[in-house]
Structure formats: C-alpha cells, structure tokens
Amino acid sequence: MTSKPSPTPNGAGAGAGGGVRRWKRLWVATAAGLLLVLLAAAVSSRSLPAIPSYSRSGGCGCPGARKYTGLVEDCCCDYETVDAINEDVLYPILQQLVSLPFFRYFKVKLWCDCLFWPDDGVCALKDCSVCECPDNEFPEPFKKPYSGLSPQNMICQGGKPEATVDRTLDSKVFKGWVETDSPWTSDDETDNAKMNYVNLRLNPERYTGYTGDPARRIWDSIYKEKCIKYPSEDMCQEKKALYKLISGLHSSISVHIAYDYLLDKSTDLWGHNLPLLYDRVLKYPERVQNLYFTYLFVLRAVTKATDYLEQAEYNTGNPEEDLKTQSLVKQLLYNHKLRSTCPLPFDEAKLWQGENGPELKQEIQKQFRNISAIMNCVGCEKCLLWGKLQVLGLGTALKILFSVDRENNLNQQFHLQRNDAIALVNLLNKLSESVKFVHEKGPSAEEGIKQLRSSTVQKGAS
C-alpha cells in the first residue's frame, strides 16, 4: 500500500456535522468546508492517494469505466465478481435475514465501563440505557409497551434523540444456545445480569451527532495507542490483515453515516450525504479496498461455518418465520452462483505459518480483545450498540477462521452462541450494504466533487 492516510477523517464514531435544508443545498454547504482541500487537490494529484495495483479506468479509457478492477488485495475474488454477487445474491438474502425475529434482537452490555480513561459521563445517566431483562424473564415472551422517548431521554447524548436506543421489544421467544465467552472479545457474554436485549430494526446504524474529540479518541486508541499501528513494509501479513479489517469496518461505519444522514434538523429530513461519503471514504482508495477485503473476510467465515450454521436452531416461537430463517440461511450458504464464481473469498490457510505462528496468533488475539474493550468507552448509546455488535461479528469471524485443525476443519472445541451468529450475519449485512452503496453512488459522488473542483478552479482563475 502506497498511502497511509490518518484514520481520523474516515469518520470518528457514528455522527458528524449539522444538516442543511435541502439536498441540492447540501453540496453548497459542504463545499465551504472542503474548499481549500479541493482547490489543492485540483492542482496536485498527490492530494488523492493512489493504489497502483488497481486501474482507475477501463482498458479503453472510456468514461464510466470501473475505478476498481482486478483481484481484491490478499483475497481470491475480484471487484467485478464481488459487486455482481452482492447485488444479485448476498444483499437480497441478507436483507431478508436481518428482518426476521432471530437476527432482529441482539444482547449487549450498554453500561459504560471504560478501562482506558475516565468516564465522560455521556451515558452514565440511567435514562440513557435500555431496560435490562433478567434471566428469569428470558426466554419468556417480551411484552413492553412503547410510548415514545420521554423528555428525560432527550437529555442523553447532548439532547440528540437520534443517538438514543429505542427500548421497544415485541412479544418473541428465544430458545437459548450454549453460551461461552469468546477468546477474541472482552465482554462476558454469559453475564446475563448486565446484558440488555435490543431490537436492531428499531435502532438503525445512522448519523447520531456523536463527533469531536470523544469520538476521535475512540479511533485514535484503536489505531495507535492500545492496539495496532499503521501497516508498513516490514509488518507481518497477520498484522496487516488486522489493520485492514479495522480500516474496512471503519469505512463501513462511515458509509452508513453518509447513507442515513440528518440533512435538516428543523424538518427531521434524512437522506444521503454524498460529499461526506467522498470526504471520509472515497477520497482514500485504500479505504474502499479495505472495505471489500473485510467483506470477503467475513463472507469466508460465514461459508466456512456452513455445517454449524445449517444445523443451528433458529427458534423464536414463530414457526413460520423460523422456517423462513432456516431456508434463507441455506440459500446463503449453498448458493450456486456464489460457490461457482467466488468459492474461496479469502484463504486463511496462508496465515499463522512458521514456528512463531502460535505466539503471533495469541498476540493478535490480545490486540483484538483490546479493540473490543475500547468499545466500552463509546459515549453514544446507539454508536456503542453498533460498535459492539460489529466488533463481536468480526471477532466471531476471526474465531471461525482460526479455530482450525491441520486439515483446515473446525475443531471439536469450537462453539458459537446465539449472539455470535446474530452479530456475524448482521455484520455481513452491514458490509454488504456499504459495498452496494459505494458501488452505486461512488461515481456520482466523485463526479459531484469533480464538478465542484472545476468550478472552484475557474472562479480562482477569473
């Protein structure tokens, strides 16, 4: 990789900036903040980091040619195949799966317990947490009426209701799986007394207003202080992979902020923020590359756990929807098009080789546990929810891919719990959404910036 941009501009946390009144005026408002950067980029190509292993245009140089082509770095599928498979197969199946009862609810510890710096107090108020469901109430039916957010709830997150977690739980029953703690993540998943059940459909990943130093400190700690450094030529392949996974996850979070952004606070108008998408992700080709890498890595974990996921019980007390869940899981795992065009999304067998493999694996495992622990320091409840879910999903993918024997099969000690499966599938869906949005809206976002750039240069010349 030839460029190593700072992770901070990629989006710190799950929020950014203010809104504007109309979509057409969003470009104008954003232009003021980007003016100097864009002017410099217009006169110097060095402002846009290049990835030489990928073509910026087709062989004929025609307008509209793909910017990313060829194999995704360190993976076994190319960009064209990933986009086609995602559009035709994975995205439609995953969208249905995450809407069904089994994958709709996630168990999470929402109380802030930061081990790395003093509590900011943002989520320390009792009204900022969701209701806790004790063991004797679960898996009994949940019946919790919802009457909207109270004025006390609005105090949380600096008065931003979009940052609070909706507490509604409808009447569903779960059949518990065996619960074991993961060696890759820090949360004690068996400590039900401190866990909350959250309806993910009522709490979409989107803009929350969580920004500034507290959010930046989270990503700085992940990238610099506690865990991993920027990749370098002398860094081993395993550590480079970990960096790319975190960068890809970071990019996906930024994409979702841009996808569902508060454009106008006064009218509660939400929509796409393409300038933000460009500024945080598209401007840095490495970030797009890492997004695709992370997507294929997690997809490989899902396909490798085929036997386990196929035989798992998806029981929520709703026979019709549970049968649909089992059917969709099988469609995902055994899709002919996926198996024929991208049978091995990522080859994990090339990692942990050599005599230092076991020690290196323990080191990477410890670093990822640090990352999951840093999630407890997130001061926005909804950001904490999605941060923990996606880090658990990534930790589950790591656990699947590296719980192997010499024949590359899952060992007998391998176990998944319900929360692992929920996090893994929801993470794959989030990455699928991000890849789809970048593929569909990336060209128009870059064209808009190009036109703005051209207009800025012309005004400067005049």
247 among annotated binding-site residues: yes
Average pLDDT over residues 358-381: 85
219 among annotated binding-site residues: yes
336 among annotated binding-site residues: no
6 among annotated binding-site residues: no
Q: How confident is the model at residue 20 (pLDDT cuts 50, 70, 90)?
A: very low
The number of helix segments (H) and strand segments (E) in the chain equals: 15, 4
> Considering the domain boundaries, does residue 243 fall inside one?
yes
> Considering the domain boundaries, does residue 59 fall inside one?
yes
Question: What φ, ψ does residue 108 adopt, rounded to 5°?
Answer: -145, 145
> Considering the domain boundaries, does residue 345 fall inside one?
yes
In this predicted structure, the answer to whether residue 63 has a pLDDT above a threshold of 50 is no
Please give the Cα distance from 98 to 363 (Å, whole number): 33
Between 431 and 444, residue with greater pLDDT: 431
Please give the Cα distance from 29 to 263 (Å, whole number): 11
Which pLDDT belongs to residue 165?
Answer: 57
117 among annotated binding-site residues: no
Please give the Cα distance from 15 to 384 (Å, whole number): 12
Mean pLDDT of the chain: 73
Which pLDDT belongs to residue 197?
Answer: 83
pLDDT tens profile 78-125 = 999 999 999 999 999 999 999 998 999 888 888 766 877 765 544 332
In this predicted structure, the answer to whether residue 61 has a pLDDT above a threshold of 50 is no
Which pLDDT belongs to residue 390?
Answer: 96
Tell me if the bond preceding 139 is cis, omega within 30° of 0: yes
Which pLDDT belongs to residue 362?
Answer: 84
In this predicted structure, the answer to whether residue 45 has a pLDDT above a threshold of 50 is no
pLDDT tens profile 315-344 = 888 889 999 999 999 999 999 999 999 999
Which pLDDT belongs to residue 5?
Answer: 40
Q: Which residues contact 155 (CB under 8 A, 6 or more apart)?
A: 125, 127, 128
Domain tally, the chain: 1
237-259 and 381-401 helices, crossing angle to 10°:
140
Task: Report residue 437 as tokens.
Answer: 């949005």
Which pLDDT belongs to residue 193?
Answer: 59
Between 114 and 42, residue with greater pLDDT: 114
Residues annotated catalytic, as ranges: 380, 383
Which pLDDT belongs to residue 452?
Answer: 83
Which pLDDT belongs to residue 239?
Answer: 82
Which pLDDT belongs to residue 170?
Answer: 35
Alpha-carbon 460 to chain mean position = 39
Average pLDDT over residues 220-247: 74
Which pLDDT belongs to residue 158?
Answer: 43
As a whole number of Å, the CA-based R_g of the chain is 22
In this predicted structure, the answer to whether residue 76 has a pLDDT above a threshold of 80 is yes
Between 245 and 139, residue with greater pLDDT: 245
Q: How confident is the model at residue 349 (pLDDT cuts 50, 70, 90)?
A: confident
Please give the Cα distance from 306 to 334 (Å, whole number): 8
- The boundaries of the domain holding residue 440 are 8-461
In this structure, of 158-172, 275-289, 354-368, 393-407, the range with the lowest mean pLDDT score is 158-172
Element (H, E) at 300: helix 285-304
Which pLDDT belongs to residue 40?
Answer: 35
280 among annotated binding-site residues: yes
Average pLDDT over residues 199-204: 89
> Considering the domain boundaries, does residue 2 fall inside one?
no
In this structure, of 214-218, 365-369, 403-407, 419-423, the range with the lowest mean pLDDT score is 403-407
Average pLDDT over residues 256-281: 94
Which pLDDT belongs to residue 24?
Answer: 45
> Considering the domain boundaries, does residue 389 fall inside one?
yes
**C-alpha torsion angle, residues 335, 66, 452, 7 (rounded to 10):** 60
Which pLDDT belongs to residue 173?
Answer: 30
Which pLDDT belongs to residue 363?
Answer: 83
What amino acid is encoded at 215 in this protein? A
Return the DSSP state at 365. Answer: H
> Considering the domain boundaries, does residue 1 fall inside one?
no
